[in-house]
Structure 1
Amino acid sequence: MNYEVVLIDVTESHIERPKKNKNSIIHERRKGIH
């Protein structure tokens, strides 16, 4: 049970972080284009 909870936490953190990074990268690219 503990391993399952840890895996869920890890996958959620990995899924959430890339989204934030992608958004920041997109904003930077838009600023560079403008």
Structure 2
Amino acid sequence: AEHVYNDDIGIEALSGDRGEIPPPTTTANTASNGS
């Protein structure tokens, strides 16, 4: 799982690098639909 797909999410969301939304699943869904 490298930074090939979903530049905004993926590794960052799973690792919680963003530090915005704790749950990775919610982050992925929100980023996909919201961002």
User: TM-score, normalised to structure 2's length?
Assistant: 0.31
The structure with more helix, counted as a fraction of residues: 1
Greater relative contact order structure (CA < 8 Å, 6+ sep): 2
Is the radius of gyration larger for structure 1 or structure 2? 1
